[in-house]
Structure 1
């Protein structure tokens, strides 16, 4: 999936259908001079319904179509005939889509299951025909209810990527390179910060034809929880990942400090993120010799406080099979 096609935030307008009018018809036929009221009810206006679709990965379908309108109902008619309901309109969205009210920014609901359906705006009710209003003292009512108008709403769709493993790290830590080596994904790779502006997904092939999904999420910087850098636009994607893989470059000035900054940004954004399983990878280890790695292990054992870590190199293909094995065990434990 190319970065330009990954759309994870859109604003759309939805409108349900109007209910049909009830009929005020009075029954007439050849030998029945005064047959009484027989006006039928109006139909129900069409709903606008969001539906989960596991085959979608992005909101790119909403890039050029932003208005969705359900069908209006038909009016009631004679012989107590009820008008036809308006056509419902279904809007397919990827799993992990959050629907918010554009005016208040409040979450209305989330779609997380395939074929899950939720109504965002209900169609207007149909009006009742005049036969409902017949009484002993008013046997020929000549009025009926009008249909209820449909509803309109502006909503925001936010996609939170559903992946098994999410890559977390500072810009330029080597996340995109790791994804390109472990999967068939082709993310943009360059030697400058914020090369990745949108999440990239790839499928990691494991032993015995098993696989899991890995997401390369744009790099975190200090202050991201307050919206600095790309802020909330990428932090929300981390919420949907089962396991977090922290990637820190071996040439970092202070590996432990970088890890603490990353943890602190996740904690400030959503403390529940720290409950997820996590693994730390020291990337670009091809720049280190064995003696230096041994020295670093002594320090890291103290600083990481029981959190598992390992050394890898995407370019030199060091430790990648072990990484796959450990991630598979974490995902299936």
Structure 2
């Protein structure tokens, strides 16, 4: 199925049913009192996070959702039937915005989590409610209220612990394939990756974390150039970034130092928060370099971008250094989780 991470939909909750004007009419009771029942409530519209979905593509075919109305009240103090709520499945990680106001209504990050996006109308009151000692035969009832109508924007942000970023052809997809069972498309041309790919790293039994690979960034990505800008939002779900740098650059291409600076500039241009995200420097393709050259390039890149965190030299193609990288990441994530559980912050480092 095609990956779609944005969709616009309209939702209409059901209206409440009208209250009933009715009087009790039975044999031998010629002057029975009012017995009009209340209208039923309208059905609400809910979004529910479904772990079996990973794209918003279904909303390209169906964009309008309407819940049933409540039924009107009836005599003999019978209330109308309430409209059934409708539940719309969305992928886990969906952020819901109201288009008209820009308000964020909710963020569905747990499987099974529900969010009410349109409240059903309230049923009207029957004339039974309006009887009194001075008005024993009221002919008054109230109509049901309309259900809420909303224009919504759904935005999917994939859930991952580690995000890969770098220039096109830096080897991010190859690295994802090397450390997980994911099979992303890999090719020797720019923008082979057209949408985020996820993979699960298995360290030991019961110890895992998720890596997300997004399309490569280019200079000007934050202004809409290339493919990566619309996927940068996915990195905001991560707890750690791997900044992958191609060490096997050729004449006529930007030097690794310049490419690394461009990536960091784009992160800050998109969001200062994302620019300050915990980030590790990963020097890739060292199998194409003389021994020790990767470490030298790593030191140059770190100095060029004023980077103080750990530097990992790896070859995604051969697997060299990848075990050390993912094990260090696993330990970092576990330590960060412990700090967060203890209430000592997020453990940001290495940016």
TM-score over 0.5 for the pair: yes
Partner of 2:191: 194
Report runs of 4+ in structure 1 exceeding 4 Å deviation. none
* Contact 2:92–2:111 (Cα < 8 Å) also in 1: yes
Give SS of 1:326's match: helix
* Contact 1:277–1:330 (Cα < 8 Å) also in 2: no
Q: Distance in 1 between matches of 2:146 and 2:295?
A: 72
Which of 174, 177, 190 aligns to 1:177? It is 174
* Contact 2:295–2:313 (Cα < 8 Å) also in 1: no
Q: Distance in 2 between matches of 1:139 and 1:293?
A: 93
Normalised TM-score (structure 2): 0.88
Q: RMSD over aligned Cα, in angstroms? A: 1.9
Matches within 5 A, 1:62-73: 62-73=59-70
User: Do residues 235 (structure 1) and 237 (structure 2) align?
Assistant: no
**Greater shift after overlay, 221-230 or 101-110?**
101-110
Give SS of 2:198's match: strand
CA displacement at 1:316 relative to structure 2: 1.8
Which of 43, 47, 54 aligns to 1:46? It is 43
Normalised TM-score (structure 1): 0.93
Partner of 1:33: 30
**Greater shift after overlay, 315-324 or 48-57?**
48-57
Q: Distance in 2 between matches of 1:294 and 1:239?
A: 29
Partner of 1:86: 83
Partner of 2:203: 206
User: Do residues 248 (structure 1) and 245 (structure 2) align?
Assistant: yes
Q: Distance in 1 between matches of 2:75 and 2:155?
A: 47
Matches within 5 A, 1:240-319: 240-252=237-249, 253-300=254-301, 302-303=303-304, 304-319=306-321
Give SS of 1:323's match: helix
Partner of 1:320: 322
**Greater shift after overlay, 122-131 or 308-317?**
308-317
Q: Distance in 2 between matches of 1:37 and 1:137?
A: 13
Task: Give the total of aligned pairs.
Answer: 330
C-alpha change, 1:80 and 1:65, in structure 2 (3 Å) is same
Q: Distance in 2 between matches of 1:291 and 1:246?
A: 20
Q: Distance in 1 between matches of 2:299 and 2:84?
A: 67
Partner of 1:96: 93
Query: Could you give the per-residue CA deviations for residues 77-122 of structure 1, whole angstroms, max 9, x where no partner exists?
Result: 1222211210000112222211122344443322122322221111
CA displacement at 1:44 relative to structure 2: 0.5
C-alpha change, 1:29 and 1:121, in structure 2 (3 Å) is same
CA displacement at 1:211 relative to structure 2: 1.7
CA displacement at 1:292 relative to structure 2: 2.5
Query: Could you give the per-residue CA deviations for residues 296-316 of structure 1, whole angstroms, max 9, x where no partner exists?
Result: 354345344312111111112
Which of 183, 207, 216 aligns to 1:219? It is 216
Q: Distance in 2 between matches of 1:140 and 1:294?
A: 92
Structure 2: tracts of 5 or more residues without a match: 336-351
C-alpha change, 1:43 and 1:232, in structure 2 (3 Å) is farther
* Contact 1:58–1:94 (Cα < 8 Å) also in 2: yes
Partner of 2:124: 127
Give SS of 1:206's match: strand
C-alpha change, 1:220 and 1:156, in structure 2 (3 Å) is same
Q: Distance in 2 between matches of 1:92 and 1:298?
A: 48
C-alpha change, 1:38 and 1:105, in structure 2 (3 Å) is same
